[in-house]
């Protein structure tokens, strides 16, 4: 099954983008090739750009506090697994404390003059070559372990944000169970009856060879399935498409 996710608002859209950047950065930082480490650095700089424009730290803290309050109210609710609940509350409190302990997100990286100069160079197509920045070429020729140690040290400064985002998105994704649905002739609509959602998750069988084009607002969800072959433009399909979906809300 292939999973597609659609955010209902810009806040969740931003969290999903940051999650993707963290995943890319940490994946390539864990590999050994210098070219892969350049991809990790590019993702690191994209994260700095994204956290520069918005108060991600404050937004994540608000989400964590909101969920801590909601979950705390479930302590005496019958049928609640108290151990799981206590563990989740402890995880939230630890993540919030780590976020509060740091200053501005990524500030130590922004204060690093060498990273700042490299950040400016990598924006330019081909700007990371030895012609433009010999010091970066020298860094790329360090032993793999040395480059990885540098990357892990730089990534560590962003980990409180990464952990906070991971908790918020996990709670959001786990807020409801998937349901089976069918898109007759490739199209599906569902009225939302006035309930506010933050995220739509759609699973499609890989063998179907289709993907969903989604639009949604507070009133309804609209999904249209299309396929794309070779160099052709995507084409709407006309057969019934079975799929699973979850409407998530916190």
Whether residue 91 sits in one domain with residue 213: no
pLDDT of res. 229: 84
Q: Which CATH number do you get for residue 241? A: 2.60.440.10
Whether residue 51 sits in one domain with residue 166: yes
Closest CA to 19 of 9, 5, 32, 33: 5
CA-to-CA separations, 98 to 92, 103, 115, 156, 179, in angstroms, rounded: 10, 10, 24, 12, 36
What's the domain count of the chain? 2
Q: What's the whole-number average pLDDT of the chain?
A: 90
Whether residue 100 sits in one domain with residue 19: yes
Whether residue 234 sits in one domain with residue 162: no
**For the whole prediction, is pTM greater than 0.85?**
yes
CB atoms within 10 A of CB 131: 9
Is it the case that residue 64 has pLDDT exceeding 80?
A: yes
The model's pLDDT over 192-228, given as tens digits with 9 standing for 90+, comes to: 987 889 999 999 999 999 999 999 888 899 999 999 8
Are residues 198 and 248 in contact, defined by beta-carbon separation less than 8 angstroms?
A: yes
Which structural domain, as residue segments, surrounds residue 149?
A: 10-172
pLDDT category of residue 246 using cuts at 50, 70 and 90:
very high
* Residue 119 domain-assigned (yes or no): yes
Q: Which CATH number do you get for residue 109? A: 1.10.3900.10
Q: Which of 172, 200, 217 is the last residue of a domain?
A: 172
Helices and strands (DSSP H and E) totals, the chain: 9, 8
* Residue 2 domain-assigned (yes or no): no
How far apart CA 248 and CA 193 sit, in angstroms, is 14
**DSSP E strands, the chain:** 2-7, 179-183, 187-191, 199-204, 211-216, 220-227, 235-236, 241-248
């Amino acid at each position: 099954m292939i999973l597609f996710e659609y955010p209902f608002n810009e806040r969740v859209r931003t969290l999903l983008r940051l999650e993707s950047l963290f995943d890319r950065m940490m994946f390539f930082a864990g590999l050994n090739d210098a070219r892969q480490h350049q991809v990790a650095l590019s993702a690191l700089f994209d994260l700095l750009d994204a956290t520069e424009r918005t108060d991600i730290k404050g937004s994540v803290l608000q989400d964590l506090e909101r969920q801590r309050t909601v979950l705390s109210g479930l302590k005496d609710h019958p049928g609640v697994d108290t151990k799981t609940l206590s563990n989740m509350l402890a995880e939230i409190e630890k993540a919030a404390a780590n976020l509060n302990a740091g200053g501005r997100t990524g500030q130590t990286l922004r204060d690093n003059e060498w990273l700042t100069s490299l950040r400016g160079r990598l924006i330019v197509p081909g700007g990371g070559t030895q012609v433009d920045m010999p010091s970066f070429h020298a860094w790329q020729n360090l032993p793999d372990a040395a480059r990885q140690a540098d990357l892990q040290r730089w990534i560590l400064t962003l980990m409180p944000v990464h952990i906070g985002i991971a908790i918020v998105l996990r709670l959001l994704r786990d807020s409801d169970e998937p349901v089976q649905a069918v898109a007759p002739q490739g199209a599906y609509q569902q009225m939302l009856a006035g309930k506010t959602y933050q995220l739509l998750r759609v699973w499609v069988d890989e063998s179907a060879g289709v993907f969903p084009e989604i639009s949604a607002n507070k009133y309804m969800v609209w999904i249209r399935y299309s396929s794309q072959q070779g160099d052709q433009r995507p084409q709407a399909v006309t057969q019934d498409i079975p799929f699973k979906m979850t409407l998530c809300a916190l």
